[in-house]
Each structure stands twice: as structure tokens, then as C-alpha cells.
Amino acid sequence: MSGLIAEVKAIAVLEACRRNGILGATAESCTGGLVAAALTDIAGSSDVFDRGFVTYSNEAKHEMLGIPNELIVAHGAVSEEVALAMAEGALRHSRAGIAVSVTGVAGPGGGSLAKPVGLVWFGLARKGAQPFAVRHVFNDNGRASIRHAAVDTALDMILKALSES
């Protein structure tokens, strides 16, 4: 069911980008490009989807998106600050007018009391608007479940932002 939901949401995102005359971009860590894949699975998406950054490592976040290493060290890769910086970096390093970012702990390992498995931070940046971040803690029903829930949430964020314009 999640695949069909993601497809419907991806189609809606692409249509919203077309209506708004805006290109989209993604900056992904724990989802490993699944948000970009959901969008590019739809034929014709190239007219409104500019690019996706898969920045799984901290080095990639720094090199591809321009996130200062100091920010990552101070707050950790899974944080509000890094999610915001990822979304803003995707805007700066693309032709997009809207970008969503995803960084989290998909498990099965890697969690802690402060950052449990299922914690995902999302960032959304849009030219001419204040960027924002959203924190979710998804049920730990396995890595795939967390990643798919993150894709759905990221697509929802783009849709909501474009519907408010």
C-alpha cells in the first residue's frame, strides 16, 4: 500500500510544482534517494524535478550541500539544524525553488536515548520563504517501514508548502 500512496503523492507534488512554476530538489540521508525516486518514477517529472542529493555521509553533506562540519559536530547529522542546512544547501546548489531534506535514524542500530531509531528530521526550504524543520519519531517497525514513512512525510511537506502559496 505504501508504494501506491507514495505514487499518488508524488504525482500531486509534480502537479503542484507545475501549477506554481517551480522546480523541486531533495537532500536525503536516511532515505537514500527514495524521495527523489518516488518523484522520478513518474514519467515526465524532469520538467519540474531538478535534482536529488544523496548525502548519506557527513562528508557528503559538507561537500555536496556546503554544510559546515562544525554544525554537524555541534548538533549531529540527525538534528533540526542539519535538516535545515540540508534543505537550504539543496536550494543553493540547484535550480530548484523548493527543496526538502530528510535525515534520521532508520535502524535497526544506531539509535540512542536522545536519538532513537525512528527519529527523522525534515527540512523544507523555499525561495522567498522562511525555511522550517519538522521532527517525527516513527514507530520502529523495521528500517523499510521508517524509510517509507519518511518518504510519505517529505512528499506531504512539499504538497502543504505549495498549497499555501
Ranges of each domain in the chain: 2-163
Taking 70 as the threshold, does the pLDDT of residue 120 lie above it? yes
Q: What is the largest CA-CA distance in the chain?
A: 43
Taking 90 as the threshold, does the pLDDT of residue 32 lie above it? yes
Count of residues making up the chain: 165
Query: How high is the pLDDT of residue 5?
Result: 81
Query: How high is the pLDDT of residue 3?
Result: 77
Query: How high is the pLDDT of residue 2?
Result: 60
Q: What is the pLDDT of residues 33-91, one digit of tens each?
A: 999 999 999 999 999 999 999 999 999 999 999 999 999 999 999 999 999 999 999 99
CB 106 within 8 A of CB 30: yes
Residues 6+ apart with CB under 8 A from 86: 27, 29, 53, 55, 61, 65, 67, 101, 103, 123
Q: What is the pLDDT of residues 127-142, one digit of tens each?
A: 999 999 999 999 999 9
Query: How high is the pLDDT of residue 6?
Result: 85
Whole-number average pLDDT of the chain: 96
Question: To which CATH superfamily is domain 2-163 assigned?
Answer: CinA-like (3.90.950.20)
* Number of Cβ atoms within 10 Å of the Cβ of 81: 16
Query: How high is the pLDDT of residue 165?
Result: 65
In the chain, the percentage of residues whose pLDDT exceeds 90 is 95
Taking 50 as the threshold, does the pLDDT of residue 1 lie above it? no
